[in-house]
Structure 1
């Protein structure tokens, strides 16, 4: 017991010493357009009626201190949901947001932008508008150094960079061609750990892998012109099929505590060896190249199991191909086909249509584009599938190649989603293991955790869900008061219990609680632009 007391004292002392700056509400700008009723309604719900007039009224807002921007008030032309051109993106979105931040002294205060339902989410390629919807052709466009299509969201991460300068349809004639590796990928610390003092300075990028394919930081440039993890904005979207779906999604993210006894995980691969490989191979989740982040699905699986707090019986991992190994839930009838999982989920990582031979019911219903609707979900459930167009169907746009959609997952009870609105290529797909490490097992906000799972910027990614949400684990709430705080350390020291299911109560359990409590300290301290 004396040893535990000493360890506990050290843990308590360490909380303040290690607290870094996490994202907080006053660093978040909610962007909406009152000329689009759905955009106004989502902004009013999230930021509050006192900041967003003209709606139903009576909404207190989800967080105090959020900042808002009504695009109508800037004089910008109104945008339409779905697709937009690069020139319209500049005039209707990027330039007004940039001007607002600059004029109001917010350049270094805002670390996150929230886009609302009703705003466009896809930017056409400048000289071949729909090429991103054509997997074969976008490959040629990318390798030739002229792929300029992007998500609105991911292009806005580089708000302060004039990526379009020089663009004239040539190979690598502007930085909007190709993609920029994300300097925050695979990080495990809050975004406020990195200074953004130079975020508005022009960055020096040099080509890699061919002109206009990848643009990487120029290490020989003056420091203020180098591109670091503090030099981009987290951009997240509050979007779904309906405004009510958005409201329900955000409400499910509040006071989020994952029940470690019942929460389930689906990690569905196909044609995999099921082994955590140290090097790239032919598996879709383990493609090599400049954006390589490891053997994704196996890493996610093993981190959950090694941590020990979640019930291992609720880990549903399958490496095999074929109809009988395609994991589905009980809420869609596939005539008994597929591998049934009834456990309520907090993570859906799935090859989806790339699994092949999806179950169907013989009457036109295929699991290819309905598997997400088939599962039961707990609050806080995350969607991240290995499908090229899983974030396409927002606004008036539908799916492509019969792939599952984040919007369908949200309507079925999901809370967070990460995906692609144009073809990203397998090597550029969003990753699952950073979400496990930094959100489910960690204490980063959803926005922060999501961007640690995104390989590149100025590309095709979309993040959906409450950016400020954080998750706790029920196992760490030792005194069962609905909070994870320093009282749980005191309670554990008086009555040591086994947290990680290894059969003993020891320093490893105390360390897990300490890490969770430290995350709660982060919540209180927040971060500042530095």
Structure 2
């Protein structure tokens, strides 16, 4: 471990390759001038990020999440474009068709505050009186004019674009700061959640974690539903592991069970369920400060006011600082590619840049929730203020950098560290790494070693669940059932024992109730 800690002296040099952050004066903030709390939120954000006061725009808007296309044009798009012109934030000229196009701009990023509507609904035509509405087809969904306000605002300075369906995002899959890309689009993020307090906490956490770095566990929940989405999640799991972030990967078709005992979760990516469930239903669960969490679902951000419905609002309510989502059906290929998002965040980009590099479509359904300038992995180089809760995770990162191609030496060093420091977190991380390397037998025994060192029943249960997961994925159903029965009984006083019961009900469902006699 001493060798790993000494390596800290060498790590800051790695930060030289980080992308340049967006300039504060390249950000404009939009708030609802009819709601005092929206203005207060805008002022707090500007102060925290050093954004000049002349970059704030207040618009008188209705206090609702969903608006019509006419309301969007009248209350948001036209007044905002007029403010850009008045403040000389862009230079536009007409093209050959007479449409205004951006030639240069001083503003690259817009941040919408809670109070600014988030969805534009374009209702389908009503059928003739007396006739039933036709069934909703894929063609009807993909040719809709409904969109997220934020995604529509990306094209604020470009006239003449079709409102039907999605537009191609020229920033998609790029790997350069938006200021260098020099594109005629705006990157639009949003600080929004079910309450004003959650919004303030999101901003404060982003600033605090940029000083210390985001350290903790990764969790990737793979649905085994559609190959494209599953591959994104596999890529995320691999990239997190290669970054030295110990990562739990669940490959069962069901999402992680209710009350699964997660701890220190810094990164979560999962799919595919309509409403929040699993570990996030546990009243005691909280993400690590500054966490990035997202669940891939067509309507993950269909609303932001109910912290128990959909995914975006609940994840933020559980302590995440950043998430992404969709307002209406986006279709998988036109939503955020989670692997690109994660990769760009790990590379040091801001949340809003990473999110738009990951999204192939504009004028569509995507939203980015959290401080747009937040760079969660700014301190992967080992710099920043050292916190006691982060020391093991920092050491795991160092070990990955020191022995990237020698997993056996890395494993031996971490096992020695666990023994010297009497900290089972090292062993849990070794077990997760062994799983990533397909060494399931040694992983299971390592989780058993970690269980002996852990003193909290909560953590011991997690180790037993890991072993049951290994047996389940290895088709050793009888062993998995026995392990889950033992865990359900042993930890019966814990609310988290529901996780064992949930998996047990899948593998060994109870018999159906007896049929009621006919009367």
Per the normalisation by structure 1, the TM-score is 0.62
Query: Is 1:304 paired with 2:247?
Result: no
Q: Is the 8 A contact 1:328 1:374 kept in 2?
A: no
Indicate how the Cα distance of structure 1 residues 14 and 140 shifts in structure 2: closer, same or farther if over 3 A, else same. closer
> Who is 1:283 aligned against?
227
CA RMSD of aligned residues (A): 3.6
* Alpha-carbon contact 1:27-1:66 (below 8 Å) kept: no
1:430 lines up with 2:332 in the alignment: no
Q: CA deviation at 1:471?
A: 2.6
Aligned position for 1:149: 146
* Equivalent residue runs for 1:476-491 within 5 Å: 476-477=381-382
1:28 aligned residue: 27
Q: Does 1:350 align with 2:270?
A: yes
Shift of 1:429: 2.6
Task: Determine the structure 2 residue equivalent to 1:393.
Answer: 303
d(CA) in 1 for partners of 2:112 and 2:314? 19
Alignment of 1:327 with 2:256, yes or no, is yes
Deviations for 1:9-55, whole angstroms, at most 9, x for unmatched residues? 9x97995xx7865312101101112212232221122124xxxxxxx
Q: Which has the higher contact order (CA 8 A, sep 6+)?
A: 1
Q: CA deviation at 1:111?
A: 0.4
For 2:218, the equivalent position in structure 1 comes to 265
Instruction: Decide whether the 8 Å contact of 2:18 with 2:348 is kept in 1.
Output: no
Secondary structure of 2:119's counterpart equals strand
Q: CA deviation at 1:426?
A: 2.4
Q: Contact between 1:498 and 1:504, CA under 8 Å: does it hold in 2?
A: no
Q: Is the 8 A contact 1:266 1:349 kept in 2?
A: yes
Structure 1 runs of 4+ aligned residues shifted over 6 Å read 11-14, 258-261
Whether 1:451 aligns to 2:356 is yes
Aligned residue number for residue 417 of structure 1: 323
Relative to structure 1, the CA distance from residue 371 to residue 451 in structure 2 (aligned partners, 3 Å threshold; closer, same or farther) is farther
Give the SS at the match of 1:349: strand
Other structure's SS at 2:289 match: strand
Q: State the match for 1:101 in structure 2.
A: 84
**Higher helix proportion:** 2
- Deviations for 1:234-253, whole angstroms, at most 9, x for unmatched residues? 10111111111100011111
Report 1:367-382 matches (<5 A).
367=277, 371=281, 375-382=285-292
How many residues matched?
Answer: 368
The counterpart of 2:107, out of the listed 80, 90, 110, is 110
Partner SS, residue 273 of structure 2:
helix
Which structure has the larger Rg over C-alpha atoms?
A: 2
Q: State the distance in 1 between where 2:23 and 2:53 align.
A: 9
* Partner residue, 1:199: none
Indicate the larger mover: 429-438 or 82-91: 429-438
Unaligned 5+ runs, structure 1 = 1-7, 49-60, 164-173, 196-229, 273-281, 287-294, 331-339, 359-365, 484-496, 510-530
Structure 2 stretches lacking a partner, 5+ long = 1-8, 91-104, 127-132, 388-397, 411-519
Aligned residue number for residue 293 of structure 2: 383
Distance 1:78 1:423 in 2: 25
1:318 aligned residue? 250
CA distance, structure 2, for counterparts of residue 260 and residue 238 of structure 1: 21
The corresponding residue for 2:181 is: 194
Q: Deviations over 1:143-200 (max 9, x none)?
A: 5xx411100000000001235xxxxxxxxxx6110101222122222111212xxxxx
Contact 1:390–1:419 (CA<8 Å) still a contact in 2?
yes
Preserved CA contact (<8 Å) 1:267 1:318: yes
Looking at structure 1, the residues matched to 169 and 325 of structure 2 have their Cα atoms a distance apart, in angstroms, of: 16
With normalisation by structure 2, the TM-score equals 0.63
Distance change in 2, residues 1:343/1:391 (3 Å) = same
Q: 1:123 aligns with which of 120, 128, 134?
A: 120
